Chains A and B, each alone.
Chain A
Amino acid sequence: MFKKLSAAVLLSCICTFVYAQDIDLNQMLEEEQKKEEKDKIRYTEATFKSTRIINGHSVEVTQKGIMDFRIAHRFGTINGGLYDLFGLDNASMRMSFDFGLTPRLMAGVGRSTYQKQYDAFLKYKILRQSSGKRNMPVSLAVMSSAMVQTMKWTDTSRPNYFSSRMYYAHQVIVARKFSENTSIQLMPTLVHYNLVKLAGDPNDVIAIGIGGRQKISPRVSINAEYYYQVPGYKMPNTANSFSVGVDIETGGHVFQLHFTNSRGMTERTFISETAGKWSNGDILFGFNISRVFTLKKNRKK
């Protein structure tokens, strides 16, 4: 009987203990949540604020159903001094419309005053950086553009074919968002010329681009971009393009203000035809303004 009694006491002790145990509900839920997170794929968002770092493309694509109207200006070189008001007298601009066609595919058309160019491009995001159930260290996109310059044909020794005015650029863009604030991308690029000025000029220019951004506040980031033309595939008498600037985001707008040594805003004109050098003070001030419009309302509930 004594055994029974002591057993009963023990049991009731245990059950009182269970009853009295204070369960931290919040902690319980948190642990549950962590377990579930492991089974989910978390895609990295907003590696860059805009679809352009400065002149060149970033890995981002315009989201589906969104139209992005962009106006970009490049002023003259600041070494023109006060006479040109540090370049502000000589503005060239590019106006473009970009469209998000699917969550991964975007297309855009643009027109530049510089060399009276029209351009069109497609960009497709193949890989998306993710963590959780599927671990993907980088995002990867491919971009192809075609450009045509429509200046008056001055070379009388050659027939004026339309194809002679065409240029193409192809890029592979690999990007990684290292932290909330820091993203870096690499973009090997091929620029193809149907017709070059001199017999010795290469028809294919190969360049390696590197770009990055560092956020300094939730709405402001510092961006830089550099394109290195590979020796042997470099356009003679040109400089490599280097640009540095800030992105400022306000609601549906992104303002990008920057300094660059490139006047053109299409792949051909800035990667392989940058004339100015930073060391000579051939620096241009410029800005891009992006305004997005929702063409198709998101009906997902």
Chain B
Amino acid sequence: MHYARLLMVLFICCSAFVQPLIYTSNNGLVSFRSEAPFELINASSKELKGALDLSKNNFAFRIRIRSFEGFNSPLQKEHFNENYMESEKFPEAVFNGKIIETIDYSKKGKYSIRAKGKLIIHGVEQERIIKSDLEVTEKGIRIISQFSVLLSDHAIPIPRVVKEKLANEINVSINTELYAK
């Protein structure tokens, strides 16, 4: 009888722990900016999908390339999809991996974290450690991050004629709030 009770307690603990492990988001914001001498290009998307497994500290983010809006003209958007990102062949960008720091998700507050994982853009994978701010809020987990992506790292060539209009270093920012699934 003692063992049974013990096991029951164990089970209850265990099931309580299992409950809200995965946090997700469907409409995170991603924006990017190219600052070249002759042209400034801005675009953003509100379709960032994210998932965070609290028990494992694992995460995954995905964004559909065609969902980016903004740009300086519709033609520029077309070129972005057709010539640079090749969105038909590589429809999404992905970042997935693990948060290096251990975080006490039961405590509200801001944490400065490093996310280590594979960043796949234009079909080219890069191992990256990206610094982010993670905030455990009342409702969920907010992630804010700013980092840069080099076009040359992802096999996106810049034609000579647009060298002054397109920066190799693209500034990306992320702002999303994940909620318990």
Contact = CB atoms under 8 A, between A and B. Distances in A.
Contact of B69 (A5, A180, A300): A300
A30 interface: yes
Interface stretch (B78-86, B104-112, B135-143, B144-152): B78-86
B74 to A, nearest CB: 4
B164 to A, nearest CB: 10
B42 to A, nearest CB: 10
Contact of A26 (B62, B81, B82, B162): B62
A34 to B, nearest CB: 11
A5 B11 contact: no
Nearest to A22: B56
A1 interface: yes
A300 B161 CA distance: 28
Interface string B92-113: 1010100000000000000000
A1 B1 contact: yes
B64 interface: yes
A29 B22 CA distance: 12
A29 B10 contact: no
Chain A contact residues: helix, strand, loop or mixed: mixed
A12 B7 contact: yes
Q: How large is the interface on B (under 10, 10 to 19, 20 to 34, 35 or more residues)?
A: 35 or more
B18 A28 contact: no
Given A5-B3, A23-B22, A46-B82, A63 B89 contact: no
A294 B96 contact: no
Interface in A69-113: none
Interface string B155-167: 0000101100100
B58 interface: yes
A200 interface: no
A64 interface: yes
Contact of A218 (B56, B62, B83): B83
Nearest to A179: B88
Nearest to A27: B60
B7 A26 contact: no
B7 A9 contact: yes
Interface residues of A, number: 40
- Of B11, B56, B61, B92, most A-chain CB atoms within 10 Å: B11
Interface in A26-53: 26, 28-30, 32-33, 42, 45-46
A32 B62 CA distance: 11
Contacts of A16: 14
B8 A33 contact: no
Interface string B45-65: 000011111011011111010
B69 A301 contact: yes
B78 A251 contact: no
A16 B86 CA distance: 44
B126 interface: no
A167 B73 CA distance: 35
Given A25-B51, A28-B51, 8 more contacts: A12-B10, A15-B11, A19-B55, A26-B96, A29-B49, A30-B62, A250-B159, A250-B162
Interface of B: 1, 3-4, 7-8, 10-11, 14-15, 17-18, 22, 24, 26, 44, 49-53, 55-56, 58-62, 64, 66, 69-75, 78-79, 81-83, 86, 88-89, 92, 94, 96, 159, 161-162, 165
16 contacts: A12-B10, A12-B11, A15-B14, A19-B17, A25-B60, A25-B96, A26-B62, A28-B60, A33-B92, A63-B73, A180-B88, A250-B161, A251-B161, A294-B72, A298-B70, A298-B74
Pairs A-B, 5 closest by C-beta atoms: A25-B60, A26-B60, A8-B7, A63-B74, A25-B51
